[in-house]
Amino acid sequence: MLAYILSWSSGIVFLLVEKDNKFVRFHAMQSIVIFVPLTIALVVVGFLPIFGNSLSTLVYIATIGIWLLMMFQGFQNKWYKFPYAGEYAETQLKNMGSD
């Protein structure tokens, strides 16, 4: 759960600090993989004219929903893989040598 608490920044911290626990490392990487693109999307969409404010609100609501879902899954000790992001997170961990 703590890997998601501060979005991608807590994911980075836990990925750097935890070296052995695969569960924590997976959720830390998944946090980074999910929330970095959402943060970028919030910034980019905020600059769009006309529909930027509406789209920014939708992205923000989706981000909050995903954040709550992922924290709940981590708190429940579930290896929940978010669609696409979970597989990508696993691949990145394998590439880092964290099978």
The whole domain housing 71 covers 2-14+21-94
* Residue 3 burial by Cβ neighbours in a 10 Å radius (0-12, 13-18, 19+): buried
Domain count, the chain: 1
pLDDT at 3: 86
Q: What's the pLDDT tens digit per position in 72-94?
A: 999 999 989 999 999 999 999 99
Whether residue 57 lies inside any domain: the answer is yes
What separation in angstroms does the CA of 88 have from each of 29, 44, 83? Answer: 9, 23, 9
Whether residue 99 lies inside any domain: the answer is no
Whether residue 33 lies inside any domain: the answer is yes
Distance, in Å, from the CA atom of 14 to the CA atom of 20, rounded to the nearest integer, reads 11
Q: What's the pLDDT tens digit per position in 31-64?
A: 999 999 999 999 999 888 888 889 999 999 999 9
Whether residue 50 lies inside any domain: the answer is yes
